[in-house]
């Protein structure tokens, strides 16, 4: 099964997208099709043994549009290949059409409506005797407007004949009817002048519709220009990411420095990065140390100190010193390329909430055409003049807006996913974004999620005749040769205090107990109570302290010489600075918070009391974590699992929403629906808040799109005319339709102002 993305041109409304989806989905071998009106894109999952890209492109062309496969060329990458910006191209083309239309529309408006406002009109356009000049001049001014906007007619009538009408069809029928009626008026004038029927001439002058046809085309084009400009704003996040990677890199080959295109870098090659330059690919530092700004990837504004052996991510900025590093991931495997791919895929996907709008869009245009015909016919049967009935039908056609319905969901999804990427929150799909809004229970892994995942020395308690530093020095000297996970914490604390360690002899690792060794011929021990009991060393004076430390979730290590206890060093996996705040914010949002850990019940209870978590599952084996998730789901809960994305993979997959925290460069974790680049639980809070904001915005957009059409179509059809004398001119109908879709896009753009909660 292959997944291919296509750029699609020629779409103007959701009916276009629905038509393409329908035709492509009929092809043998197609599993799934998703057409996105906002991004002018299509994603197709298909069986390569039954179908090829050329056939898909040909099918789209037969439907009246164009599709171009978007796979990067051989040797190119997502980050280094500058894509064709179809949104920008469309914007420039529509802008040109708008200015030409506007240039002819202004004199047309002045000529046709100036007399209504008492504006000066040259005598040549006044009077019955000049009626043909007056009408034919309007016709000549309308022709250039119709010509530059011929795309509406070509596409609209073509798709109408294919029984798949779209928004262009509505515009083409409406404006054509107005222009043709104007031409009919010219013929009537000619007949009236030739047969001395002054009343016929006067009536024809009053009922010219050239200005309506020209205004429809001009205002629709203005609306499309504003819409395309706004749509361009929604994709800014992706554009910024694509432009992050440098086009060239300085590489060391055969002892020589050379500058090469970034796509030519190979894994294992050595690269050089000067202060101020961007990191071209992922790699490991071989020489140097520096501050590196990773904010564009992780959302972390403070530069990170990097030294030999540390990881560099493509797109980040080397701030302070010269670095030499070895490339580990290049091309589409780099962090930046994978982030771009994730954001693009999420932006192009559809949320379940959009299904209603899609269903309505599929039948919207045919229904509108039917309503227009029925409305015009009814007014004719009621005895109203033909021009009155025609204006009603045109107004119905023009005011109906399938665009607003089609854009309601994708614009919010694109802005939301882009905003998430800005804060280091990678949302894999629109479904994930919507699911985050439905979550009522959050399950948190302890190690690496709530805690740092690396034990640290928390307490040092020594007997009176030995200092803390001396006790730590003895313990670190012994632990230096131990492979126990807690050893690293003691050694790092000694390094932090810059202690010189003792030389050892007779080192012994006693499994399950601790270690012993000799320092200057004297035996020392570091370990648990069992080790002291085995060596008959009295520890009663520290019994209360060790119990208290254990209750606080800390592991006490006893240090003794051959005869006496010297003290206790407590080691614990401490909470991250923001964990308590994050848990409280989750609770404030009305979510039930559950902690899941493989630790002993006493250790889990200590963390539970510090964070105020009501439900804890302790001593859970990694393979049993997903069973807990299943148990919670069986009780009717919508569960989000937040873990490190590796040990918690089964639980992340089982949960309704899997959130991988602190995933670093592994942004393609298959088990997670949302990937948090930073090792900060507050980002999970931000992800859920962002989901709430996006879904709220989508609901607002759908409401206004439905409300607009429900109110405006009856108004245009003249439903309120018998009661209140309200009748909508085709000109005002065109203006209303133009700005309805723009309003939806502008509302979605408010999401660009979304910000995470301020931290304490």
* Residues acting as catalytic residues: 445
Rounded to the nearest 10 degrees, how much is the dihedral formed by the CA atoms of 218, 222, 227, 229? 140
Could you tell me if 18 and 57 are in contact, meaning their C-beta atoms sit under 8 angstroms apart?
A: no
The residue with tokens 């299904």 is 355
Contacts 24+ apart (CB under 8 A), 501-510: 501/473, 501/476, 501/477, 502/473, 502/474, 502/477, 503/477, 504/477, 504/478, 504/480, 507/478, 507/481, 509/481, 509/482, 509/483
What is each CA distance from 315 to 279, 605, 706, in whole angstroms? Answer: 5, 42, 42
Which strands form 592-596's sheet, in the order they lie side by side?
425-427, 674-676, 657-661, 639-643, 441-445, 592-596, 615-617
For residue 756, the cross-strand partners are none
Write the DSSP string, 311-361: EE-TT-EE-SS-EEEEEEE-GGGSHHHHHHHHHHHHHHS--GGGHHHHHHH
**Residue 286, SS3 per DSSP:** strand
The span from the CA of 268 to the CA of 261, in Å, is 16
Cα Rg of the chain (Å, integer) = 36
Measured N-to-C along each axis, helices 167-194 and 198-206 cross at an angle, to the nearest 10 degrees, of 160
Could you tell me if 250 and 271 are in contact, meaning their C-beta atoms sit under 8 angstroms apart?
A: yes
Measured N-to-C along each axis, helices 355-381 and 386-399 cross at an angle, to the nearest 10 degrees, of 180
Helices and strands counted in the chain (H then E): 27, 26
The span from the CA of 219 to the CA of 232, in Å, is 20
Q: Which helix (H) or strand (E) holds 754?
A: none
Could you tell me if 296 and 423 are in contact, meaning their C-beta atoms sit under 8 angstroms apart?
A: no
Short-list 623, 622, 624, 604, CA closest to 614 = 604
**Residue 90, SS3 per DSSP:** helix
What value, to the nearest 5°, has the Cα angle with vertex 272 and ends 271 and 277?
Answer: 120
The span from the CA of 350 to the CA of 735, in Å, is 29
Which strands form 41-46's sheet, in the order they lie side by side?
30-36, 41-46, 2-9, 66-69
């Amino acid at each position: 099964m292959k997944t291919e993305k296509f750029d699609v041109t020629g779409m103007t409304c959701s009916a276009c997208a629905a038509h393409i989806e329908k035709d492509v989905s009929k092809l043998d071998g197609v599993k799934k099709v998703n057409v996105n009106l906002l991004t002018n894109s299509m994603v197709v999952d298909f069986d390569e043994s039954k179908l090829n890209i050329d056939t898909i492109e040909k099918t789209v062309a037969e439907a009246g549009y164009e599709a171009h496969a978007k796979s990067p060329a051989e040797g190119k990458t997502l980050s280094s290949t500058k894509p064709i910006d179809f949104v920008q191209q469309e914007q420039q083309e529509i802008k040109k059409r708008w200015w030409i239309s506007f240039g002819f529309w202004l004199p047309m408006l002045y000529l046709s409506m100036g007399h209504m406002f008492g504006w000066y009109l040259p005598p040549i356009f006044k009077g019955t005797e000049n009626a043909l000049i007056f009408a034919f001049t309007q016709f000549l001014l309308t022709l250039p407007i119709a010509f530059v906007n011929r795309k509406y007619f070509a596409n609209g009538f073509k798709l109408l004949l294919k029984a798949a009408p779209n928004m262009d069809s509505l515009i083409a029928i409406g404006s054509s009817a107005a222009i043709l009626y104007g031409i009919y008026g010219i013929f009537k004038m000619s007949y009236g002048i030739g047969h001395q029927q002054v009343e016929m001439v006067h009536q024809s002058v009053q009922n010219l519709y050239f200005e309506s046809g020209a205004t429809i085309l001009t205002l629709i084009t203005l609306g499309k220009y504003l819409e395309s400009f706004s749509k361009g704003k929604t994709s800014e996040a992706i554009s910024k990411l694509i432009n992050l990677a440098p086009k060239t890199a300085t590489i060391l080959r055969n002892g020589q420095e050379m500058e090469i295109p970034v796509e030519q870098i190979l894994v294992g090659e050595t690269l050089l990065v000067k202060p101020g330059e961007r990191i071209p690919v992922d790699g490991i530092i071989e020489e140097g140390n520096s501050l590196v700004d990773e904010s564009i990837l992780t959302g972390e504004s403070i530069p990170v100190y990097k030294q030999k052996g540390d990881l560099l991510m493509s797109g980040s900025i080397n701030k302070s010193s010269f670095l030499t590093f070895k490339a580990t991931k290049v091309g589409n495997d780099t962090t930046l390329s994978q982030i771009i791919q994730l954001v693009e895929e999420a932006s192009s996907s559809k949320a379940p909430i959009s299904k209603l709008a899609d269903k309505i869009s599929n039948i919207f245009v045919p229904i509108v055409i039917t309503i227009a015909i029925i409305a015009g016919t009814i007014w004719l049967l009621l005895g109203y003049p033909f021009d009155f009935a025609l204006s009603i039908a045109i107004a119905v056609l023009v005011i109906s807006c399938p665009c607003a319905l089609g854009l309601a969901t994708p614009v919010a999804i694109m802005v939301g996913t882009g905003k998430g990427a800005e804060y280091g929150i990678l949302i894999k799909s629109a479904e994930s974004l919507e699911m985050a809004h439905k979550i009522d229970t959050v399950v948190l892994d302890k190690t690496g999620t709530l805690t740092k995942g690396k034990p640290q020395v928390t307490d040092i308690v020594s007997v009176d005749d030995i200092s803390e530093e001396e006790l730590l020095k003895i313990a670190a000297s012994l632990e230096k040769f131990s492979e126990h996970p807690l050893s690293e914490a003691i050694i790092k604390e000694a390094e932090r205090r810059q202690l010189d360690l003792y030389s050892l002899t007779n080192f012994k690792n006693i499994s399950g107990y601790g270690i012993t060794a000799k320092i200057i011929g004297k035996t020392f021990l570091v370990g648990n109570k069992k080790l002291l009991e085995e060596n008959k060393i009295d520890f009663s004076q520290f019994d209360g302290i060790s119990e208290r430390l254990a209750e606080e979730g800390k592991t006490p290590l006893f240090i003794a010489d051959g005869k006496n206890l010297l003290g206790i060093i407590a080691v614990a996996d401490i909470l991250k600075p923001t964990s308590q705040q994050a848990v409280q914010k989750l609770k404030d949002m009305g979510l039930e918070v559950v902690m899941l850990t493989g630790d002993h019940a006493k250790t889990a209870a200590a963390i539970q009391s510090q964070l105020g978590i009501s439900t804890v599952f302790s001593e859970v084996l990694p393979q049993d974590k997903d069973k807990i998730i299943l148990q919670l789901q069986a009780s009717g809960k919508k569960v989000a699992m937040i873990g490190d994305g590796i040990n918690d993979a089964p639980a992340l997959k089982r949960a309704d929403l899997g959130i991988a925290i602190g995933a670093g460069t592994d942004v393609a974790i298959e088990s997670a629906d949302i990937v948090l680049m930073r090792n900060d639980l507050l980002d999970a809070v931000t992800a859920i808040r962002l989901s709430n904001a996006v879904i709220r915005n989508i609901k607002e957009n759908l409401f206004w799109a439905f409300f607009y059409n429900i109110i405006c179509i009856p108004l245009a059809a003249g439903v309120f005319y018998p009661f209140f004398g309200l009748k909508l001119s085709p000109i005002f109908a065109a203006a209303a339709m133009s700005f309805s879709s723009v309003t939806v896009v502008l509302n979605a753009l408010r999401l660009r102002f979304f910000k995470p909660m301020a931290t304490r």
